[in-house]
Amino acid sequence: VMAPLNDWLEDDGALLRLRLARPKANIVDAQMIAALHGALRAHGSQPKLRAVLLDAQGPHFSFGASVEEHLPAQCADMLASLHALVLAMVEFPAPILVAVRGQCLGGGLEVALAGGLIFAAPDAQFGQPELKLGVFAPAASVLLPYRVNQPAAEDLLLSGRSIDAAEARTIGLVHTVFEDPEIAALRYFNEHLAHKSASSMALALRAARGGMLRDVRHRLAEVEQLYLDRLMQTRDANEGLVAFLAKRQPQWEHH
């Protein structure tokens, strides 16, 4: 079986490359989450590391998480591991640049949000469609307000709509729109990060994130509990997931 992730070091250990390697969907499932977390753990203490570049093979960044893993039997484990990855990314001692083409949805967008600057191709599409399935996106609920303003975050979280790269740039979700986002991210790294002190940058990043680090840790636990103890006890959340897997319209009863 092909590994779900390719990871390698470039520039004499200054840049860690992470590439989702299960095109075209690059589903953020248990294996992908474990591979990402493992790669960050393996390289996190690399003393010369100045940045990470996360991108994806194929035409799409990621269609999102595995809907099967959201079913009651697996969702507690899935959320725990995804949120541990999100925390590892938010707390990582080097900036994580993210290059996005095509669809970047659901759990895929949550992983992108846990990184730093997002570089997007003009064809990129960003969305949190969870509510269409009768569930909400816990990590995105916590991270989106740090990336965009509160009304823009609520728009994406409640409408479930996808926005294009231009709109994502307008609301501040995307840093740069460029035909080849990998090249744009590498250019940013070479111009702005490669010549910095790795140790100073790690501390500058921690200083810049300040209260966000504490808040994300606290709020992730809070929304995870809300999801498991309240949402998954409702009829509609279970109906939405089952309907999606059965490829039929959900029938809401509003409880």
Q: Please, are residues 51 and 16 in contact by the beta-carbon 8 Å criterion? A: yes
Q: What is the pLDDT of residue 2?
A: 77
Average the pLDDT over 108-117 and give the result.
98
Planar angle of CA 225, 238, 145, nearest 5 degrees: 45
Q: What percent of the chain has pLDDT over 70?
A: 100
| CB neighbourhood size of 167 (10 A) | 15
Write the CA distances from 121 to 17, 118, 166, 174, 210, integer angstroms.
18, 10, 10, 10, 30
Inform me whether the pLDDT recorded for 103 exceeds 80: yes
Q: What is the pLDDT of residue 119?
A: 99
By mean pLDDT, which of 69-73, 113-117, 122-126, 176-180 is the weakest? 69-73
Average the pLDDT over 40-55 and give the result.
96
Q: What is the pLDDT of residue 1?
A: 65
Average the pLDDT over 166-194 and give the result.
98
Q: Smallest Cα–Cα separation from 36: which of 87, 75, 77, 104?
A: 87
Inform me whether the pLDDT recorded for 113 exceeds 80: yes
Reported as a pLDDT band with limits 50, 70 and 90, residue 191 is very high
pLDDT, averaged across the chain: 97
Q: Which two tokens stand for residue 125?
A: 């599409």
Q: What is the pLDDT of residue 147?
A: 96
Backbone torsions φ then ψ of 139, nearest 5 degrees: -65, -40
Which residue do the tokens 């960050």 mark? 40
